[in-house]
A and B are shown apart, each in its own frame.
Chain A
Amino acid sequence: TQLLEQSPQFLSIQEGENLTVYCNSSSVFSSLQWYRQEPGEGPVLLVTVVTGGEVKKLKRLTFQFGDARKDSSLHITAAQPGDTGLYLCAGSGAGKSTFGDGTTLTVKP
């Protein structure tokens, strides 16, 4: 069974601060996705990383895929209240995605 561990589980910061969320596994994935989910809604895809060592930037968000394709990180610069939500990582392989339990981020104004 492939498992993904996300840390921290909860994160509460002030507007303008930087933060990093981690996603770790002992398994190798063919690709890894990051999603953001708001209460009462489905997950919305932020990014897919495929190549070991890959770095992708999406405005203030930076995503990195580990060299061995077992782990990933999401870094947010100058967080804003609109970044508040549940951030989920998911590893793809064997025909399905395995999700971490998520990081609940709260950005206070």
Chain B
Amino acid sequence: NAGVMQNPRHLVRRRGQEARLRCSPVKGHSHVYWYRQLPEEGLKFMVYLQKENIIDESGMPKERFSAEFPKEGPSILRIQQVVRGDSAAYFCASSPVGESSGNTIYFGEGSWLTVV
């Protein structure tokens, strides 16, 4: 999957705890995307970030969810006060430039969050 690294691969949290998912994009890629996938469903767009900027967060729930892509370090998807409905696979993807220019995005192998 072209070097997008996600960790942890699997995360178990109790209801009310916080979940932090990390994504290191392909070296040289400055655009990061987060998607969520429920069982037997496609990927749902959550947020699109460039370094230090959120470009589009139209798919992010308004509460408890936040994302960042700092100048240094990985992109972080943070879920506060998790509930069972947050259980899903969260995929990160990256591209060298924005998708509107026709470049394809490359996916990591995902982080599976289970809320118990």
In whole angstroms, how far apart are the Cα atoms of A98 and B35 in the complex? Answer: 10
Q: Cβ of A41 and Cβ of B41 under 8 Å apart?
A: no
* Total number of residue pairs linking A and B with CB closer than 8 Å: 70
Identify B99's interface contact among A92, A100, A101, A102, CB under 8 A: A92
Q: Is B107 an interface residue (CB 8 A)?
A: yes
Taking CB atoms, residues of chain A closer than 8 Å to B98 are 95
Q: Is A96 an interface residue (CB 8 A)?
A: yes
Which listed segment binds B: A13-21, A43-51, A74-82?
A43-51
Interface size class of A (residues with CB under 8 A): 20 to 34
In whole angstroms, how far apart are the Cα atoms of A88 and B33 in the complex? Answer: 17
| A31-64 interface code vs B (CB 8 A; 1 in, 0 out) | 1010100001111110010100000000000000
A90 CB → nearest B CB, Å: 8
Given contacts A42-B1, A44-B1, A95-B48, contact A31 B102 (CB under 8 A): yes
Considering the complex, give the chain A residue whose CB is closest to the CB of B107.
A42
Q: Is A84 an interface residue (CB 8 A)?
A: no
